[in-house]
Amino acid sequence: MTQIPEFVAGIPTIILIMFSLGLSVGWLLRAFMARFQMVSYRTNAQQQLDQLRQQAVQLEQRQAEVVTASVIAHQLADIPDIDQSVLPKLFAQNISTTQDLLRHCSESSAIIQLAKTIGVEDFAIQRWLSLADLMRVPELNAEHALLLEATAIYSIMELAQQKPQRLAEKLARQNSSLNILSDLPTESLLASWIAQASNI
User: Domain extents for the chain?
Assistant: 9-70, 73-133, 137-200
Residue 75's SS3 state is strand
| CA–centroid distance for 188 within its chain | 25
pTM of the model: 0.63
Phi, psi at 94, each rounded to 5°: 60, 35
CATH 1.10.150 fits 137-200, yes or no: yes
Express each pLDDT in 122-162 by its tens digit: 999 999 999 999 999 988 999 999 999 999 999 999 999 99
Tell me the C-alpha distance between 126 and 133, whole Å. 10
Express each pLDDT in 50-72 by its tens digit: 776 666 555 554 444 434 434 56
C-beta atoms surrounding 132 within 10 Å: 25
